[in-house]
């Protein structure tokens, strides 16, 4: 891709203390705000050019809200989103527009994210309408993007229904690639696909990254897929990042009890090891974000919780360079 | 060995379409013994759910089912609705994928469980029914069952709803539980809780469980034997250990190699090229041949028979000669 990787070693994207809260309203005529659900509650993360940062967490942890806030699709309540040197969190939609070319989003459901009345090529070329390009140039760039995702030029004029799930997801990826962004946010890009098709899409994403030096924020819940894709991993629980580390550090020595439970709950396709494994089975469900427990958000399900955890929210502490955890009792 | 609890022979399900009858499931054999857990693995459209819905007698009328389905020695394929109704919920029960739609939103959880108990035990008194319902909620690890009893489904989280669905399924101590993708809609930590419940039910009640899934990890954790379906037919069947360590069908081997590993990082995953054939577009010969790295001309001409190799049964012309230990990590 033409965008040169920034010469400075600074991060491409820097998110600091981001909060996104949704108001809870009661009443119809005299509607008033009675509370707020804080979906993202103080998230800081950064992404360097060409790297993959994965965000893992269960449903309702705020990972998709985080993605939408970074994309500027939801206005954050407070915090900073810096892309290179531009501050995105304060921009109006119009002022945001020039930056949209740098950052793109691929959605989870390849059946819902394409316009069924546009051909594959039209779907892919659509984001280019915001750039000053001629019709021929748009077509040429869209065809090039199709090629990048290994779709054939003769498939260009078919409509989405004629494609399988895996191929539709490739169209979705091509549509993100076509504006030559520096970073793509992939929100559960393979979880709707069959196992045999998943691998092809994952390989493709890795190839594109190697060829173009693009950065990814890879949002997923499958820990095996995340291990395969990431350079660094951030674990999210109830709107916060509870642990961040380089991939191998996280999988080798997870420090947060939630990370440990997630890793131990992920099924391994090997009967001997799977049946012999000691599991940490968490009790209960994720608390309602509108009614966050006092102190540490995880303490209600934590097997290491102490009296301190109910009183004080654990601050982030660095266990090793690049390995941060928010826990009073890390191990 | 005694009679298997469920014995399916030559099951076929055909769907009428504009282009004539299309076989969605053909010639499927499947057995499960009492207290056994068998994994039924395959991708969407492989016929795994259809075969089990046929067992339950829950397929829409216009689908044509043939073959033999024996439950505890009695033929139930094509059995009259009255006979099926006395089996369903009492001796065979099913848990579906989506707990959000499996429950009635306008009835309390307690009423829905009680309904199932009363249906098959009409003589039980009100207090006894409630007592059994509460015991069921407790056995699926729902905290504070007394309070939960009078709540509605919307007051439950997804994981909790799936527990209620399981509680309803096991209300009459069925001998066979068919679980169709029971944890696909749930989070990993909740999935672990549900799988624990299945393991316990089997240990405590000797319940046989058919686990329909695409997640090989779940099969590895719970099942004794497994069947791999591809395009409506059995590709490979055998005890879980040998099938995982030494798969004989290229599709099984491909599935295993396509799943990224949580404790080892491969640079590239093995990607099975292409996609499964759609209904009515089944290629001649072996249905997997167009996607198979090992296909020879014979594969495109004749359909391979299921043959026994050691402890497993495999439908592949080249099962004997192939060594599938290390699939190439190649381009999709």
Task: Provide mean pLDDT across the span A145-170.
Answer: 91
B146 CB-contact burial (10 Å; exposed 0-12 / middle 13-18 / buried 19+)? exposed
Task: Provide mean pLDDT across the span A167-178.
Answer: 94
Query: What is chain B's mean pLDDT, rounded?
Result: 90
Predicted confidence (pLDDT) at residue B212 exceeds the cutoff of 60: yes
pLDDT tens digit sequence for B106-156: 999 999 999 999 999 999 999 999 999 999 998 888 888 999 999 999 998
pLDDT tens digit sequence for A288-306: 888 889 999 999 999 999 9
3-state SS string for chain A:
CCCCCCCCCCCCEEEEEEEEEEEEEECCCCCEEEEEEEEEEEEEEEECCCCEEEEECCCCCCHHHHHHHHHCCCCCCEEEEEECCEECCCCCHHHHHHHHCCEEEECCCCCCCCCCCCCHHHHHHHHHHHCCCCHHHHHHHHHHHHHHCCCCHHHCCCCHHHCCHHHHHHHHHHHHHCCCCCEEEEECCCCCCCHHHHHHHHHHHHHHHHHHCCEEEEEECCHHHHHHHCCEEEEEECCEEEEEEEHHHHHHCCCCHHHHHHHHHCCCCCHHHHHHCCCCCCCCCCCCHHHCCCCCCCHHHCCCCCHHHHHCCCCCEEEECCEEECCCCCC
List of chain B residues whose C-beta atoms are within 8 Å of the C-beta of residue A265: 188-189, 191-192
Asked if A265 lies within 8 A of B256 by C-beta distance, the reply is no
Closest CA to A167 of A114, A227, A96: A114
CA A187, CA A71: separation in Å to the nearest integer?
12
Task: Provide mean pLDDT across the span B201-229.
Answer: 93
Helix (H, G, I), strand (E, B) or coil at B282: coil
pLDDT tens digit sequence for B273-307: 888 888 878 889 999 999 998 999 999 999 999 99
Confidence of residue B331 (pLDDT cuts 50, 70, 90): very low
Sign of the Cα torsion B16, B17, B22, B28 reads: negative
Portion 124-153 of A in contact with B at CB < 8 A: 150
Check if the beta carbon of residue A322 is closer than 8 Å to that of residue A232. yes
How high is the pLDDT of residue A252? 93
Closest CA to B195 of B224, B174, B171, B166: B166
Q: Which residue of B has its CA nearest to A276?
A: B221
How high is the pLDDT of residue B18? 86
How high is the pLDDT of residue B83? 94
Quick one: how far is CA A9 from the chain centroid? 23
pLDDT tens digit sequence for B242-280: 999 999 999 999 998 888 888 777 778 888 888 888 887
Check if the beta carbon of residue A324 is closer than 8 Å to that of residue A238. no
Percentage of chain B modeled with pLDDT above 70? 97
Predicted confidence (pLDDT) at residue B1 exceeds the cutoff of 70: no
Q: Is the ipTM of this complex over 0.90?
A: no
Longest dimension (CA), chain A: 66
Confidence of residue B325 (pLDDT cuts 50, 70, 90): low
pLDDT tens digit sequence for A188-197: 998 888 888 8
Least confident piece of the model among A65-79, A86-100, A203-217, B49-63 = A86-100
Give yes or no for A272 touching B (CB within 8 A).
yes
Confidence of residue A2 (pLDDT cuts 50, 70, 90): very low
- Give B174→chain A minimum CA distance, Å: 25
Predicted confidence (pLDDT) at residue A230 exceeds the cutoff of 80: yes
B143 CB-contact burial (10 Å; exposed 0-12 / middle 13-18 / buried 19+)? exposed
Portion 248-267 of B in contact with A at CB < 8 A: 254-256, 258-263, 265-266
Q: Who contacts B202 (Cβ-Cβ below 8 Å, separation ≥6)?
A: B35, B37, B208, B209
User: What backbone phi and psi angles, to 5 degrees, belong to A324?
Assistant: -115, 145
Asked if B263 lies within 8 A of A197 by C-beta distance, the reply is no
List of chain A residues whose C-beta atoms are within 8 Å of the C-beta of residue B331: 203
List of chain A residues whose C-beta atoms are within 8 Å of the C-beta of residue B217: 266-269, 274
Give yes or no for B220 touching A (CB within 8 A).
yes
More confident residue, A98 or B170: B170
Give yes or no for B19 touching A (CB within 8 A).
no
Predicted confidence (pLDDT) at residue B330 exceeds the cutoff of 80: no
- Tokens 């006395």 found at: B86
Least confident piece of the model among A208-222, A270-284, B19-33, B145-159 = A270-284
Sign of the Cα torsion B79, B82, B83, B86 reads: positive
How high is the pLDDT of residue B328? 54
CA A298, CA A292: separation in Å to the nearest integer?
9
Of B160, B241, B259, the CB nearest to A224: B259
CA B78, CA B288: separation in Å to the nearest integer?
31
Give yes or no for A221 touching B (CB within 8 A).
yes
Q: Which residue of B has its CA nearest to A283?
A: B193
Check if the beta carbon of residue B216 is closer than 8 Å to that of residue B289. no
How high is the pLDDT of residue B327? 62
Q: How many CB pairs lie under 8 A apart between chains A and B?
A: 144
Give yes or no for B144 touching A (CB within 8 A).
no
Give yes or no for A276 touching B (CB within 8 A).
no
pLDDT tens digit sequence for A81-98: 999 888 888 888 888 888
Confidence of residue B329 (pLDDT cuts 50, 70, 90): very low
Number of Cβ atoms within 10 Å of the Cβ of A269: 20
Q: Helix, strand, coil proportions of chain B in percent (round to 5)?
A: 35, 25, 45
């Amino acid at each position: 891709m033409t965008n040169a990787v920034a010469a400075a070693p600074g991060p491409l994207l820097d998110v600091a203390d981001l909060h996104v809260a949704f108001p809870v309203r009661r009443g119809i005529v005299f509607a008033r705000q009675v509370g707020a659900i804080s979906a993202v509650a103080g998230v800081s993360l950064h992404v360097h050019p060409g790297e993959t940062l994965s965000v893992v967490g269960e449903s309702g942890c705020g990972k998709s809200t985080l993605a939408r806030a970074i994309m500027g699709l939801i206005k954050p309540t407070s915090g900073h989103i810096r892309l290179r040197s531009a501050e995105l969190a304060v921009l109006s939609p119009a002022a945001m527009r020039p930056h949209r070319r740098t950052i793109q989003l691929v959605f989870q459901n390849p059946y819902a994210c394409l316009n069924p009345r546009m051909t594959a090529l039209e779907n892919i070329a659509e984001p280019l309408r915001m750039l000053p390009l001629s019709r021929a140039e748009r077509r040429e760039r869209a065809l090039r993007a199709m090629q990048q995702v290994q779709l054939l030029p003769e498939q260009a004029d078919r409509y989405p229904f004629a494609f399988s799930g895996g191929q539709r997801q490739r169209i979705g990826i091509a549509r993100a690639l076509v504006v030559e962004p520096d970073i793509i946010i992939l929100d559960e890009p393979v979880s709707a696909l069959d196992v045999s098709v998943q691998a092809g899409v994952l390989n493709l994403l890795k190839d594109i990254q190697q060829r173009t030096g693009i950065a990814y924020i890879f949002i997923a819940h499958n820990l095996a897929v995340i291990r395969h894709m990431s350079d660094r991993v951030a674990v999210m629980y109830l709107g916060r990042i509870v642990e961040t580390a380089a991939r191998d550090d996280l999988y080798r020595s997870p420090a947060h009890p939630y990370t440990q439970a997630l890793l131990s709950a992920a099924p391994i396709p090997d009967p001997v090891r799977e049946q012999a494994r000691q599991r940490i089975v968490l009790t209960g469900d994720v608390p309602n974000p509108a009614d966050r427990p006092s102190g540490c958000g995880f303490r209600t399900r934590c097997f290491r919780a102490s009296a301190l955890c109910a009183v004080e929210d654990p601050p982030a502490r660095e266990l090793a360079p690049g390995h941060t955890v928010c826990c009073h009792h890390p191990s | 060995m005694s009679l298997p609890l469920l014995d399916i022979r030559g099951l076929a399900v055909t769907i009428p379409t504009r282009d004539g009858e299309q076989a969605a499931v053909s010639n499927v054999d499947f057995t499960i013994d009492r207290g056994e857990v068998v994994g039924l693995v395959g991708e969407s459209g492989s016929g795994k759910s259809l075969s089990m819905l046929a067992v339950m007698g829950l397929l829409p009328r216009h689908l044509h089912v043939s073959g033999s389905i024996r439950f505890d020695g009695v033929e139930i394929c094509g059995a009259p609705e009255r006979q099926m109704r006395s089996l369903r919920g009492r001796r065979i029960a099913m848990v579906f994928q989506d707990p959000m739609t499996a429950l009635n939103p306008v009835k309390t959880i307690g009423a829905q469980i009680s309904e199932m108990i009363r249906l098959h035990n009409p003589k039980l008194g009100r207090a006894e029914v409630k007592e059994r319902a509460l015991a069921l909620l407790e056995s699926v690890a729902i905290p504070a069952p007394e309070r939960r009893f009078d709540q509605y489904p919307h007051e439950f989280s997804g994981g909790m709803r799936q527990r209620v669905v399981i509680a309803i399924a096991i209300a009459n101590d069925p001998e066979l539980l068919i679980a169709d993708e029971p944890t696909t809609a749930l989070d990993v930590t909740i999935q672990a809780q549900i799988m624990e419940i299945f393991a316990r039910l089997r240990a405590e009640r000797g319940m046989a469980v058919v686990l329909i899934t695409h997640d090989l990890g779940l099969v590895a954790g719970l099942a004794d034997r497994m069947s791999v379906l591809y395009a409506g037919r059995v590709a490979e069947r055998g005890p879980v250990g040998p099938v995982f360590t030494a798969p004989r069908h290229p599709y099984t081997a491909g599935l295993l190699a396509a799943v990224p590993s949580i404790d080892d990082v491969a640079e590239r995953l093995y990607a099975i090229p292409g996609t499964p054939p759609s209904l009515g577009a089944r290629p001649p010969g072996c249905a997997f041949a167009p996607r198979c790295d090992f296909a020879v001309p014979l594969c495109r001409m004749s359909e391979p028979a299921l043959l026994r190799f050691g402890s497993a049964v495999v439908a592949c012309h080249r099962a004997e000669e192939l060594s599938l230990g290390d699939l190439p990590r190649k381009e999709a």
